[in-house]
Amino acid sequence: MTKPRVLVLRAAGSNCDMETHHAFEYAGARAEMIHINRLLRQEVRLADYQILAIPGGFTYGDDISAGKILANELRYKLSQELAGFHQSGKLIIGICNGFQVLVKAGLLPELDLDAGQKVTLVHNDSGKFEDRWVYLKVHESPSVFTTPMPEQVYFPVAHAEGKFAVSYPAVLERLEANHQIVFRYCAADGGSAAYPANPNGSVRDIAGICDPTGRILGLMPHPERHIDPTNHPRWMRDGAAREGDGAAIFRNAVAYFR
Amino acid sequence: MITRIELAQKEQYHDAEGKAILAGARDLGVRALTAVHAFRVYYFLGELTPAEQELIAVRLLADAVTDDWIINALLQRSRGEFWSAEVALNRGVTDMVAESARKGAIDLGLRAVEAVRTARRYELCGSLSAAEKELIAQKLLMNKVVEHLHQPGERLFFPAEEPPFELIHVSLLQASGEELMKISRERDLFLNLTEMETIQAYFRSLQREPTDVELEMIAQTWSEHCSHKTLTGLVEFEGRVIDNPLKETIFRVTRELNLPWCVSVFKDNAGIIEFDDDYNVCFKVETHNHPSAMEPYGGANTGIGGVIRDPMGTGLGAKPIINTDIFCFGPVDLPHDQLPRGVLHPKRVMQGVVAGVRDYGNRMGIPTSNGALYFDERYLGNPLVYCGNVGLIPRDKCEKQVVPGDYIVVVGGRTGRDGIHGATASSGELHSESEGTWSGAVQIGNPIVEKKLVDTLMQARDLGLYRAITDCGAGGLSSAVGELAKTTGAEVDLEFIPLKYHGLTYMEIWISEAQERMVIFVAPDKLEQALAVFAAEDVEATVIGRTTTDHKIRLRYRGQVVGELEMAFLHDGQPRIVRKARWDPPAIAESEGAQPASLGEILHRILAAPNVCSKEWVIRQYDHEVQGGSVLKPLVGVVNDGPGDGCITRPRLESHRAVILANGLNPKYGLIDPYWMAASAIDEALRNIIAVGGRLERCALLDNFCWGNTDKPDRLGGLLRAAQACYDMALVLGTPFISGKDSLNNEYKTESGESIAIPPTLLISAIAVMEDCCTAVSMDLKRPGNALYILGETGKELGGSHYYEAIGHSSSAVPRVDPARARALFIALADAIAAGLVRACHDCSEGGLGAALAEMAFAGGLGAEVTLCDLPRSADLLRSDWALFSESNSRFIVEVIPGKEEEFRARFMQLPCARIGEVTSGPRLRIRGLIGELVVDEAIDLLKNSWQETMRW
């Protein structure tokens, strides 16, 4: 069985590229870290890959707003390649800054590179960058990345601009109706999440969404930071698991091509 | 044509910045302010049509969901009376967002955009007096060192102007001693008379006057900051002359221990030790005190940015993998009316420093996993900002090779007027006018430039495209090229160096301390390939000169030689400094008083003390998970909020081999006896390594001395005692020093002329390699019924303790260390942890046994029932309050599973070890004293609340 090829996209200020690369390799993919300039100069073809991963970081310093400049590069310089990639049944995942890029580039909540932005990620209600572990409820959704997945998982978040917001309520209803809400912040017992369980004030505790096809996923928490069981903040209390909760996301993506 | 675009979040979204300013104004006592609204402002220079202006607003600047915007007008949000204040960066200060905005505009096809500037506007509602406006502006809206209130119509863009070139000579040859010192003062050279005379003699032998850039270069190379002339000089102390005190203590112990896993010590930008078969790790800690006092955000920002470049410039370049930050501030609850003029409030300094480290470290993608905070009123005018970085480096990339004929290439950021005179300024004393005098020494970092730099350097390194590398730190290119090429010689054409803006003189170009620059030496046959690697990711790399064979540094500007110095004179020509040192133990009243009625209440107060309390507010703002290798985090326990000891990180995700980092710092002991302060700091750093599962056998230390003015014999004497302790302890413990740094002259001169020195402060940082991180333990109590043990002896050592501070007593009996016993204990405990006998372990430090037990209990969400009857203790430890709060060194509390107790005890047969109680499910900490009397009976959630409340901001 050939391993699916993963393009982990780098740009100035990407910084979770190595661990995202590692997570895909751990899950059985062949991953490469590729700088966006190489795509723009057509030294590398997106079409040669099966999975596009936009990792966390502070692309271009998050100047103007988080992920905005990289999002514009994708939207205005690589739109055809991206549309073709998605239409040919391939997968796209954006984590943290990558999620911010996907919503600002017009790839989420559904691929429409010409439309105005309907959802966004804004400054946390706490007004500051926060690193903390959060419980996530995994919902029934078309997402390839979470099929299968346990009902509740534990990942860290680390961001200043992660509050999910929508332009008008109908957008939310549509996300719900299409089952596009993949992850919601929840309390340890699975109950509803007040701060800090919902670390940023996201509307309806939304932590991650997919497009209607389930082939594009964006989420603020970092599954790639919970691959090894020793990543768990309490493995010393409760004993180390076989592997971290994040591994399933990458394995599901790889399995999709088998 | 200038287009002004203003944006703000729609009113239904939370305006965190506006709210923070409103809260800050309340703190300052401004009651008239009722609301604050914040706006982002962009100015675009270039011919743009209205459609293009709108394109920028809609597609680049505004978030369609959350933002309102307006072109060439104001988005007024205020009703009634308000004051509109716009804050812009001063000319020449790096404007990162503007650079990104210009790129964004060009990405949209708008090539007409020539330049961008950003600003922030505020609407402050209410009827404010002129004085209140001034207060709010100065204290909350801006820092005048880098920003100003922008007036409508004020010029924002400046045309390129090339200054006329004029070679400047300084008349030195005929100068009298008095005139020499006048030159030193007026040019901020910070050179003393002997040094000026040495320079004069050198130029007399050359029969010419020096140029300004030559003098500056010598002053930088000879500055305390770069040459460490005090601690490598001659010191008269206790009837003998010590030749190079550092060599006799810190360097000597490493040489005598002669450990095979020390790869490179005290010679490169960071010390290197072995990690595994493929990689080594290197570690460096630096200070950035004076810049942080003047501009906390920029000072700390460039402090961490600068120390990250040390591992990047070590060997052929290490990948930065962990940050550590330790800060010392004045009291954050100081009333504003007690603040001396010219001093920023400690809370503002702290918030700025934390934000500076946060924004740089997080953007670089380096986990900040360990640190410490310390508060003392003597840090008020002179806070300390220690920043450290660990790097991972392939074993075959640890040596540089400098040969003649290589190209000298500067990579990364451009050179600007920022940071002129940083190295020399940091060697002087701060005073109430410092912020005006030295504003040029303040820099603002651009982490994304540095991230791009490290990304491309690692590629070039692995392709073998350069032979030597160093960072531009204090002293800029002058120090970097001067140091790296000292065995060959170098010539540099200053006009090749890329500039941020026109107008710099050749001298400014050479000594600028602009950030994010590295220098590499590239073989001629590799040049093209090397430049291509950088160009591929938009990193600027420019050939500025060549290495030579003549052992001189030669500078040209527009074809004319503007400076030429022999490397031998520059690096070895500095006259040795002879200083006197003296140490007299301070007179400290011995007062012990009666045992307070409620030790539980005292325990609450100690837990709430700023030096003990939870630092969660700081820790959570740092990304401590990035790079994916976090094993033991700074916050641990059942709800992830207890105080972890050392932090553990796996640098290679495919392996369970790990690095442990820890720090030790005890300035309060330094005020009593710097010898025992140093010994305690070493003990504390090592305790934190051992407590989590590390071992002494692969553990190295870093020293960082921050001291007052060591021209004063008593200050220097204290430092020598501390250095001696470093030798004495490290030799017995078997832990070598691999790198270090000193920052002297940490004094602040008040308006009345009094000079306030910081407490003598030695930071000891420890790094250890852990074979298998799966044996690590955390400090939180794990299960009811488990036994609790104490290791180590408790003495009546309350001098400098938080207990005495809390109850207002004093003593000179500062905690001491018996290094041989500490070593035996550390080894036995490391073995017990490796054998899986330990469920939790925490060292006793600030607040002693009482604080340690409380922390373990509330971190684990469990209670404990403890009795101190069998506590191993010294003969004079006669009272339960002393037992509970003495800060004696080399002590741990350990949780052991009942079935493993015998095996555990057997490992400590000859060592102080006693069972003191057990873990309980009832959520109370109950402690019985030396004769079995109940002295503490407190609910753990209330103890936790006291511990968290102080810094719950």
Candidates A96, A123, A139, A186; catalytic one: A96
Of B60, B619, B782, the CB nearest to A64: B60
Nearest to B100 by CA among B113, B87, B88: B113
Of A61, A123, A131, the CB nearest to B448: A61
pLDDT digits (tens, 9 = 90+) for B893-934: 999 999 999 999 999 999 999 999 999 999 999 999 999 999
What pLDDT score was predicted for residue B438? Answer: 41
Active site residues of B: 225, 288
- The three-point CA angle B569-B575-B576 to 5° equals 130
What pLDDT score was predicted for residue A129? Answer: 96
Contact B910, B850 (CB under 8 A): no
Tokens of A44: 């590398």
* pLDDT of residue B807 exceeding 70: yes
What pLDDT score was predicted for residue B479? Answer: 93
What pLDDT score was predicted for residue B45? Answer: 95
Weakest-pLDDT range from B91-95, B393-397, B467-471, B682-686: B91-95
* pLDDT of residue B442 exceeding 80: no
Q: How confident is the model at residue B445 (pLDDT cuts 50, 70, 90)?
A: confident
CA torsion sign, B96 to B99 to B105 to B107? Answer: negative
Q: What's the rounded Cα separation, in Å, for the pair B96 and B397?
A: 33
What pLDDT score was predicted for residue B90? Answer: 84
Nearest to A10 by CA among B629, B456, B108, B391: B456
Of B59, B65, B777, the CB nearest to A72: B59
Q: How confident is the model at residue B850 (pLDDT cuts 50, 70, 90)?
A: very high
Weakest-pLDDT range from B20-29, B82-91, B580-589, B616-625: B20-29
The mean per-residue pLDDT over the stretch B449-466 comes to 98
Q: Is A224 a catalytic residue?
A: yes
The mean per-residue pLDDT over the stretch B361-383 comes to 96
A22–chain B nearest CA distance, Å: 7
Q: How far is CA B411 from the centre of its chain?
A: 24
Q: What's the rounded Cα separation, in Å, for the pair B645 and B851?
A: 14
Q: Return the residue of A nearest to B657 by Cα.
A: A230
* pLDDT of residue B436 exceeding 50: no
Of A19, A64, A230, the CB nearest to B774: A230
What pLDDT score was predicted for residue B430? Answer: 58
Q: Which helix (H) or strand (E) holds B567?
A: helix B567-572
Q: Do B630 and A122 touch (CB under 8 A)?
A: no
The mean per-residue pLDDT over the stretch B524-546 comes to 98
B363–chain A nearest CA distance, Å: 6
Q: Which of A25, A230, A232, A235 is the best mutation test for B, with the most CBs of B within 10 A?
A: A230
Query: What are the chain B neighbours of A224 within 8 Å (beta carbons)?
Result: 628
Contact A86, A111 (CB under 8 A): yes
Which domains does chain A show, CATH number per domain?
5-255 (3.40.50.880)
What pLDDT score was predicted for residue B123? Answer: 97
* pLDDT of residue B431 exceeding 80: no
Nearest to A2 by CA among A53, A52, A50: A50
* pLDDT of residue B840 exceeding 60: yes
What pLDDT score was predicted for residue B425? Answer: 56
pLDDT digits (tens, 9 = 90+) for B865-878: 999 999 999 999 99
Of A10, A61, A125, the CB nearest to B363: A61
Q: Do B640 and A233 touch (CB under 8 A)?
A: yes
Q: Is A222 a catalytic residue?
A: yes
Weakest-pLDDT range from A18-22, B78-82, B493-497, B940-944: B78-82
What is residue B539's DSSP assignment? -
> Tell me, what's the ipTM?
0.97
Q: Do B537 and A77 touch (CB under 8 A)?
A: no
Phi–psi pair at B563, nearest 5 degrees: -170, 140
CA torsion sign, B359 to B363 to B366 to B367? Answer: positive
If you search the block for the tokens 């599973």, which residue do you land on?
B897
Nearest to B887 by CA among B681, B737, B715: B681
pLDDT digits (tens, 9 = 90+) for B730-770: 999 999 999 999 999 899 888 888 888 999 999 999 999 99
What is residue B16's DSSP assignment? H
* pLDDT of residue B432 exceeding 60: no
Of B97, B631, B633, the CB nearest to A63: B97
What pLDDT score was predicted for residue B469? Answer: 98
Chain mean pLDDT for chain B? 94
Reading across the β-sheet that carries B658-664, which strands appear in turn? B630-632, B647-649, B658-664, B761-770, B699-706, B737-743
Which domains does chain B show, CATH number per domain?
2-149 (3.30.1280.10), 210-243+400-574 (3.90.650.10), 777-953 (3.90.650.10)
pLDDT digits (tens, 9 = 90+) for A156-201: 999 999 999 999 999 999 999 999 999 999 999 999 999 999 999 9
If you search the block for the tokens 């305390």, which residue do you land on?
B224
Query: What are the chain A neighbours of B68 within 8 Å (beta carbons)?
Result: none
Query: What are the chain A neighbours of B538 within 8 Å (beta carbons)?
Result: 12, 37
The mean per-residue pLDDT over the stretch B203-223 comes to 95
pLDDT digits (tens, 9 = 90+) for B163-197: 789 999 999 999 999 999 999 999 989 999 999 99
Q: Do B16 and A18 touch (CB under 8 A)?
A: no
Q: What's the rounded Cα separation, in Å, for the pair B62 and B56?
A: 8
A249–chain B nearest CA distance, Å: 16
What pLDDT score was predicted for residue B439? Answer: 45
Chain mean pLDDT for chain A? 96
Q: What's the rounded Cα separation, in Å, for the pair B819 and B696?
A: 12
What pLDDT score was predicted for residue B341? Answer: 80
Q: Do A231 and B13 touch (CB under 8 A)?
A: no
A166–chain B nearest CA distance, Å: 6
Q: Do B640 and A225 touch (CB under 8 A)?
A: no
The mean per-residue pLDDT over the stretch B698-706 comes to 97
Query: What are the chain B neighbours of A131 within 8 Å (beta carbons)?
Result: 619-625
Q: Do B625 and A72 touch (CB under 8 A)?
A: no
* pLDDT of residue A238 exceeding 50: yes
B902–chain A nearest CA distance, Å: 22
Q: What's the rounded Cα separation, in Å, for the pair B661 and B282?
A: 12
Q: What's the rounded Cα separation, in Å, for the pair B46 and B358?
A: 35
Q: Which of B625, B692, B773 is the best mutation test for A, with the most CBs of A within 10 A?
A: B625
Q: What share of chain A is helix, strand, coil (3-state, %, to 5)?
A: 35, 25, 40
Query: What are the chain B neighbours of A117 within 8 Å (beta carbons)?
Result: 63-65
What is residue B246's DSSP assignment? H
pLDDT digits (tens, 9 = 90+) for B295-343: 899 899 999 999 999 999 999 999 999 999 999 999 999 998 888 887 8
Q: Kindly state the percentage of chain B with pLDDT values over 70.
A: 97
Q: Do B97 and A77 touch (CB under 8 A)?
A: no
Q: Return the residue of B nearest to A104 by Cα.
A: B63
A187–chain B nearest CA distance, Å: 12
What pLDDT score was predicted for residue B503? Answer: 80
pLDDT digits (tens, 9 = 90+) for B402-427: 999 999 999 999 998 776 765 555 55
Q: How confident is the model at residue B437 (pLDDT cuts 50, 70, 90)?
A: very low
Q: How confident is the model at residue B13 (pLDDT cuts 50, 70, 90)?
A: confident
Q: What's the rounded Cα separation, in Å, for the pair A234 and A245?
A: 13
Q: Where are the alpha helices (DSSP H) in B609-763?
A: 616-619, 667-670, 674-691, 713-733
Query: What are the chain A neighbours of B616 within 8 Å (beta carbons)?
Result: none
Q: Do A72 and B627 touch (CB under 8 A)?
A: no
* pLDDT of residue B441 exceeding 80: no
